[in-house]
Structure 1
Amino acid sequence: MTGMIPAAKPLIGEEEREAVDRVLRSGMIAQGPEVAAFEEEFSQLVGGRHCVAVNSGTSALHLALIAMGVKPGDEVIVPSFTFAATANAVKLAGAEPVFVDIELDHFCIDPAAVEAAITPRTAAIMPVHLYGHPAAMDKLVPIAEKHGLAIIEDACQAHAASLNGQPVGTFGLTAAFSLYPTKNMTSGEGGMIVTPDAQLARTLRLLRNQGMEKRYHNEIVGFNTRMTDIHAAIGRVQLKKLAGWTEQRQRNARFLDEHIKAAVVPPVAPGAVHVYHQYTIRVEGASAADRDAFAQKLADRGVGSGVYYPVPVHKLPSFGLELDLPQTEKACREVLSLPVHPALTQEDLERVVEAVNA
């Protein structure tokens, strides 16, 4: 057997190294012209919206909530089947996350569950475009409008995904993207907040920079969540590669769809463009122990995999809630993400298929 096929692999090349060297030679290392250029270029992914670069996807969610006026006493509806950062950001803003169930097919928040969870305290809905598949925004937007609620999109895993021709990140008044190393594109670490509202964008820029636009003239209480020019330079190079990498992920996913017979492959909703941050199968009817044994057998055959996510967020010690979310519980038992990244060779893909089907 040849080496282990990794479940995920950051792709960093000479262009990224040269971009970092250029910044280091310039002497302008903190937030500066590279960040401004990166924001301008990223805006093309999201219909020309204002973009505000920060130091992580979690910061992007946190600042978006604060800028939107979410405050203590408010509730924000979130899925429990996601990474903890979604709900953490709500708590960090002083509000309460209200956890609801998902639709199992696409692993995204269930619009019917969202509507059922709305109370007089609900301020916002935070759908997650999980694994790179867009949430059902065609149903969520009318619900938000009907009840006068804000939508803050967690698009951290979904760069360049879309629904009915509309890019994710453009359905709500704010959206957050992550630029963590294993995402579909990276800046090393980082995040991006997008909004169509110029005044909101200015507030976000104040919040990320200690509340000041002019140095030492702090207008509001803010944070230090700036992105450095080093990170932005990496992000700018990666952004140019994103379209090609996305097409490769989609080709890899099609091959897996066509040849995997021993598990439930991820369906794509009508009108959705899935960008396969993760290629997530279900080992249908499995217990968590069965699924973990399945993953170990793949590893024994040299195929890496990952479980995103083994514990519902509401059950983590940081939240510790007992809720009846059956689809979330089922997903946590059954999901397994297989390699789909652009570095895979045809031989790798065949090995993945052979291992899964065996």
Structure 2
Amino acid sequence: MKSSVVEPLKRLEELHRSYRRDAALDEVFIVLTIGASLIATFGLLANSAAVVIGAMVVAPWIMPIRSGAFAILLGDARLLSRALRTLFIGVLTTTVMAALLGSSVGLPQFGSEVAARTAPNLLDLGIALVAGGLATYAKLRSDAVSSLAGTAIAVALVPPICVMGLLISHQRWSLASGAGLLFATNLMGILTGGLVLMAWKDPVLRQQLRRSHLSAANFALTGLLLIPLGSSFINLLGRARQDNTRDAIRSTILSFLRRETLTFGDQQNVDLEQLDIDWGRNPPVIRALVRVTDPRLPTFKQVSAVQDEINKRQSLRFQLVVQRTAVDVVGPEEAPNENNSSASNLLPSDQQPDVLPQLTAPPTLDKTTD
């Protein structure tokens, strides 16, 4: 009976010592933080996803974060402050370095790798929750430590702070706050996922979770993130629906160009170059840019017929507006060659014109009458 009580306490003390080491601000943490920050910032400036992924693997921030999750679970304010201090110094160092690099390089605009980290939503929180659970599981099970690198890639910690620093250097405060929100989402997701995994894995830790006031505060802060993240997720769904509708309308118009019964005109004379939808109008306005060789096509009647067909296939009514771009073929005329065979000899064999034997009519006999 006594051993059944002492052994879990001994295990808890071993975990406590291990997590204290993870929360330490030492040379390894500082060197890896600086290296990961430089790699991530250069990768973002170069718009290279592969380089940014490399920075995720190097970054050591997940160590103090999962130590913070353990401290929250036990209600250990001292260990929590130690973990947060280490993380704060890493975040501050990375922000300053990224801002200095961003101002020194002076790019007029950033690429898609930066833009992708400025609008987090509920999907990012879900990823962070799973990653936090896996990071904690790798701590509790030594045979699962190989998953730690993949977990670091799945939930990015350093790149959002690098993005925030780059955007601050260009005074793009709104986008910088979006990158900061992504980091906060990943931070709280890892903490919450780690708490849930530890409570699920160990009965002793499950009892600690029920008694910890810090755990309740952590869940409350994570719940507050649902407000901005939910709004972003709704906007994401709306944009996805608009993109699907635009693709469906584009496919409909392209199919009309290939039909004889209903079309903008001769397929060889009309080509759809661009299609956009103005969703701010009611009804939404479809603006189609077509390239034509006959400036009279498409006619008003043809556009009206295509608009009617589009509205039959969509749940909303749309107005179709077509802008024509005429293509003029310019070139001087030239008399044909006298000997066409000499010109044909210059063509490759697969482009030689077909030569058919010339058939001559049989001679006719004049019939005379006596």
TM bracket, shorter-chain basis: under 0.3
Q: Greater Rg, structure 1 or structure 2?
A: 2
- With structure 2 as the length reference, what TM-score do the two structures score? 0.21
- With structure 1 as the length reference, what TM-score do the two structures score? 0.22
| Highest RCO, 1 vs 2 (Cα 8 Å, sep ≥ 6) | 1
- Larger strand percent: 1
